[in-house]
Chain A
């Protein structure tokens, strides 16, 4: 989206994105999801609603799952932001990606990046989550395809895999 930010002040944003520091000039009112998709051109993070309703835009900010559609990019100054693109490394799928693929935790795939990032935040703070821990952690992420059954199985399978 070629969003005009004519009225907004711009400033230099410095953040660590998927492990690498970078600097960009961003408008002060630019949302994190717009920054990721339109400035950095990482389109893996999705928008599914009009703000904070569906969780498709979930990214990690300093290890915490955050909806990037209701967070300003400038609030990430000096912080670490991780997106779905940062998970796979050196040609290997991350354990959550592997599990969501193998167990069909993804169907249409649109909620998947946000779902995986929310699950990653959970596994980082709670490596062996119970069924109810998983349900609580992912309750802000809507999926319309799976009925969530295979999503829970995917997160459980990933938790049982050593990363």
Chain B
């Protein structure tokens, strides 16, 4: 589909403010915690005080007897596991028999108010026989380590071994082979809205209404039906305004199911609001990752082979683990032309809060290692970092060795753009001491071509209603979590119909009203829901043109419609206004509802190989960025002075929103690179507040200059691809490369906190002194 004429090439487009932006800036936007809950009970969770143990005694009788307590639940009250992948649901909403991380939910209460709920928690008697606990991948995998899950030997949730091409031959013909070990600390989404859920159970009709912070209301719907043994048709899931997701709310979270269980047990309404500390305990974010990466390279910069071993410390339960470890391998491909790749991935269980999906899911830490190593090898071979990337570009359209299709590829233009914008050629190597430039590339999928639950349904469906008043309402299950997806739906519908944006209203995220959607994950909404919205709008347009044709007594193919006016031929005298055409269209049929769908054809869904579906997508976004830093040698403190980013999003449906998404993702990459990390002391989170967990403040956040590259994807809506995740993974390696450029030290551990930088500087001084001594001695 070509972009709308009015917004065609060359025409400057600034974009459109969010259609729900006024609610947000006036404070009228209702988030879950803002829902009316004056008559609701207060839910609270009793959590395991130990990292690993067998539950010996759990006595809730005293808690239950307390005045004002309406329900107390334990693992006995829910015998069902929940999770993401049908094959890997090994977690109970409330622990049964055993606890596997400190903070795991063990019991829950619903009481008349918060103080009573807290008192009830204090009355719960819990005895546990402690078991050996493991907080590092190596310890959990060591011979003789106790198994967290009896069916998972070696505490491995999953190991992956993939080989494509002749790796040995590739290394043999390389002029340079280098192997580095690079590790990235665990990070957390730290979305500013804390988790919350409001569940209402109506005992007379046996219906449940759940309002929660979910990114994927449909998963929540499925898991509520499973864990509460309810028919799914008796459940309604509503998504209020959501204060950020970043992957935290893709999986169904334990507190959501617990809130629903409490509401049913109490036969009423329960509000659960987690503290910030509990948000960190709920976790589900990017795992601590160790990468061993070996690359072969020719003198001209061509990569000959890649061998990559990734170990992810996944936490105590499966969650998204299998997908994360598959992504880490799959996304080695699809960005450069690499003739041979061997990937070994290990997802390890440990006695820590479970990890999950986080922006750039699976690809970020591997890309980090890869882009750092590319730079180091370029340096050894005397090549420019840009030249090394250019030596390995793909030619679109193509299909990678792991069956990923690349149909549009704006990476070359991204490279040219940031090279020029940053003044790279003039400045590299000429900056004063302590200052440096670094660059890196990255990519990401525009939606998983194969959904987690394969049902045979379309990948997306959007309904449009046109009624007597001339308004068009778009119904979508897609979760707007701040990324602007509802605005995107309104724009695609309005532009396809060539009507005013104000005529379109979007109703999103209510299972009783909107069609099911697979949700806000893997950057799927613009591509999939956008295409479905265009399809629906085309169907409605056809109906309107036919109605105009009847009224103008002309064949439909002669009807021209633009700017809410219909006429015969482009110079037609008789003009019908939109209202007249709507009236004509409604004769005999009444209000019109049309549907649009989008389905990824099977050839895009990855090969038949086991795990092949992960990484498959209709279109990859591509990004390149340059980071400029200053490093203070006395303190090890790094200041990011400026970032230049170019991202190929195919076509920017809303340039303003695209820019905002790119800045946000680059900045989130900066947080991971500079200061963010979880720290556990024997399983006790030492980071569980926004003071200890160092999200960058406005004071240390740099200007981020954004350049949008439009490669026009042949399958994207108006040619669009994703824009929210692709740029994230490039920041950290660009930073590490810039620091190397500034102080001549390659740092192998993220984040680059001042103490890590200082340690490296001190080590270098120590070696220099020793070297001087050795020279002096003989």
Residues of A within 8 A of B (CB): 1-4, 6-7, 37, 42-50, 53-54, 56, 83-85, 87-88, 93, 96-98, 100-102, 104, 106-113, 116, 134-136, 138-152
Contacts of A136 in B (CB 8 A): 699
Residues of B within 8 A of A102 (CB): 17
Q: How far is the CB of B752 from chain A (nearest CB, A)?
A: 18
- In the complex the two chains form, what is the Cα distance from A163 to B481 in whole Å? 31
- What are 8 sample pairs from A and B whose C-beta atoms fall under 8 A apart? A1-B273, A43-B33, A48-B243, A84-B26, A106-B21, A109-B21, A142-B690, A147-B667
A140–B42 CA distance with the chains assembled, in angstroms: 30
Once the chains bind, are B194 and A48 in contact (CB under 8 Å)?
Answer: yes
Asked whether any CB of chain A lies closer than 8 Å to the CB of B592, the reply is: no
Q: Is the CB of A142 within 8 A of B192?
A: yes
In the complex, are the beta carbons of B191 and A108 less than 8 A apart?
yes
Number of interface residues of B (CB under 8 A): 66
Query: Which residues in A have their C-beta under 8 angstroms from that of B277?
Result: 50
The reply to whether the CB of B241 lies closer than 8 angstroms to some CB of chain A is yes
Within the complex, the shortest CB–CB distance from B335 to chain A, in Å, comes to 23
> Could you tell me if A4 and B243 are in contact, using CB atoms closer than 8 angstroms?
no
- Closest residue of B by beta carbon distance from A139: B699
B398 at the interface (CB under 8 A from A): no
With A44-B28, A50-B275, A112-B24: A107-B484 Cβ-Cβ less than 8 Å:
yes
Bound complex: CA A148 to CA B671 (Å): 13
Neighbouring B residues of A3 by C-beta, 8 Å: 113-115
List B residues 261-306 near A (Cβ within 8 Å).
271, 273, 275-277
The reply on B193 being an interface residue by CB < 8 A is yes
Given A3-B115, A88-B26, A108-B482; A50-B276 close (CB under 8 Å): yes
In the complex the two chains form, is A110's CB within 8 Å of B114's CB?
no
- CB closest residue in chain A, given B693: A53
Q: Could you say which residues of chain A place their CB within 8 Å of the CB of B352? A: none
As a 0/1 sequence over residues 642 to 682 of chain B, the CB contacts with chain A under 8 angstroms (1 = contact) are: 00000000000000110110011011101000000000000
Q: Does B190 contact A (CB under 8 A)?
A: yes
Given A53-B690, A142-B697, A148-B667, residue A116 in contact with residue B191 (CB < 8 A): no
CA distance A152 to B667 in the complex (A): 14
The yes or no answer to B242 lying at the interface (CB within 8 A) is yes
Describe A's contact surface by its main secondary structure: loop
Q: Which chain B residues numbered 95 to 120 have a C-beta less than 8 Å away from chain A?
A: 112-116
Q: Output the nearest chain B residue to A117 by Cβ-Cβ distance.
A: B27
CB-contact partner of B22 in A53, A93, A104, under 8 A: A93
Within 8 A of A (CB), among B608-665: 656-657, 659-660, 663-664
Bound-state Cα–Cα, A1 to B32, Å: 12
Residue of A with least CB distance to B661? A107
Q: Knowing A106-B18, A144-B190 touch, does A53 contact B667 (C-beta < 8 A)?
A: no
B26 cross-chain contacts in A, Cβ below 8 A: 44, 84-85, 87-88, 93, 97
Q: Are A108 and B244 in contact (CB under 8 A)?
A: yes
Q: Do A85 and B27 touch (CB < 8 A)?
A: yes
Q: Is the CB of B698 within 8 A of A144?
A: no
A109-B241, A139-B699, A144-B246 known; A101 vs B27 contact (CB < 8 Å)? no
Contact of B698 among A47, A97, A113, A152 (CB under 8 A): A152
Complex contacts, B660 vs chain A, CB 8 Å: 104, 107, 145-146, 150
**Known A44-B26, A138-B698, A148-B667; contact A109-B243, beta-carbon cutoff 8 A:** yes
B81: shortest Cβ distance to chain A, in Å? 30
Name the CB-closest residue of B to A154. Answer: B25
4 closest A-B pairs by CB: A44-B27, A108-B482, A147-B667, A110-B243
The answer to whether B690 touches A101 (Cβ under 8 A) is no
Is B513 part of the contact surface with A, judged by Cβ < 8 Å?
no
Residues A2 and B276 in contact in the complex (CB < 8 Å), given A44-B26, A141-B698: no
Q: Is the CB of A109 within 8 A of B482?
A: yes
User: Residue on B with the closest CB to A84?
Assistant: B27
Chain B residues with CB under 8 Å of A145's CB are 244, 482, 660, 664
Most buried by B among A42, A53, A134, A138: A53
